[in-house]
Structure 1
Amino acid sequence: MRLLIASAITVLTAGSATAAPLSTVASVDVQIGPELHKKAVEDLGEKDVQRLAAELRRDVQRELERTGVLAGGRMELVLTDAKPNRPTMRQLGKKPGLSYESFGIGGATVDGQAISVEGEVTPIHFQWYESDIREAWRKPTWADANYAFDRFAYRYGRGETYAAR
């Protein structure tokens, strides 16, 4: 009887050791949409937009690691729009009369899809733009866009954001 139990345990542990462990972290891929890329080349500056895409990826990755949502799956995001609160360095260089003291409301739009381990695809659409200019005078260049990323990551990590219908 002991031999039977010992051999059963050996078989079970050997089987689990050879099976690939399920990743607890989802992979996040962020692309820049074609319209935003064009806007970056012509006006905003490519470095700024690349930094925004990296920031979006970091925020979402951090929140998915923290909450365990989409474990083993992947998220393919497209940064489709971003508006700065202040002029970017590229804009300041192109327009001599423009001042960094200029300000406005900003925000961002994120689209894409989440793909679970089972292959289930969930469309994603999230946008947030500030609606009140009264606080914009004290914000740095990409404050509202970064806030939109944080808000998206937080809400997605808690299952509150999927596709806007």
Structure 2
Amino acid sequence: MRFLAFAAAALLASASTALAAPATVSVTIGPELQAKAEKTYGVRDVQRLADSLRGEVERRLTKSGAHQDAQIELVLTDAKPNRPTFKQLADTPGLSMESFGIGGAAIEGRLIAADGTVTPLSYRWYESDIRQAYGDWVWSDAEVSFDRFAARLARNDARLAQR
């Protein structure tokens, strides 16, 4: 009898989980960053960065189950690389992949909950210590920014609300 009750509870739990869909995440590139991409960073690099942000947010929200049936619209408004991008290397003779600096990213957007409630979002993080900025990849600090943003979004952290 106890087994039957457990099986029924498990069936109800899986049915309710199946009804909720994971959040839909879209990421666009802000106009100022798009201009930087075309002139300085390279369009392909910045588009890959936007795809990385979308993937990280989707992964964290799927794992946590937060914001199910919500729509999340994000704008990557700024990004600074830790190392020169391929376009920067091609455009500037003598520039080296050994060059490095502090990087990071800024994100804005909104979360539209299943009930229609709209919550504005804003997050920015840039490394402040050059000793910590020596990443292996061009966009290391931007990726850290995405990871921190996605973790806070998955936790419903109120500090993401726009000020």
Same fold at TM > 0.5: yes
Counterpart-to-counterpart distance in 2, 1:128 and 1:49: 17
The answer to whether the 8 Å contact 2:101/2:134 transfers is yes
Counterpart-to-counterpart distance in 1, 2:133 and 2:118: 37
Q: Which runs of 5+ in 1 are unaligned?
A: 1-20
Find out whether 1:97 has 2:97 as its counterpart. Answer: no
Q: 2:120 aligns with which of 117, 123, 141?
A: 123
Find out whether 1:31 has 2:28 as its counterpart. Answer: yes
The answer to whether the 8 Å contact 2:84/2:138 transfers is yes
* Offset of residue 23 of structure 1: 3.1
Deviations 1:72-103 (A, max 9, x none): 01100000000000000100000002111111
Deviations 1:82-140 (A, max 9, x none): 00000001000000021111110000000000000010000000000000001323432
User: In structure 2, what is the equivalent of residue 59 of structure 1?
Assistant: 56
User: In structure 2, what is the equivalent of residue 17 of structure 1?
Assistant: none
- Runs of 4 or more above 3 Å deviation: none
Q: Percent identity?
A: 53
SS in 2 for 1:137: coil
Q: Give the number of the structure whose alpha-carbon radius of gyration is greater.
A: 1
Q: 2:139 aligns with which of 137, 142, 165?
A: 142
Number of residue-to-residue matches in the alignment: 145
User: In structure 1, what is the equivalent of residue 78 of structure 2?
Assistant: 81
* Offset of residue 162 of structure 1: 2.4
Deviations 1:122-162 (A, max 9, x none): 00000000000013234321000001000100111011142
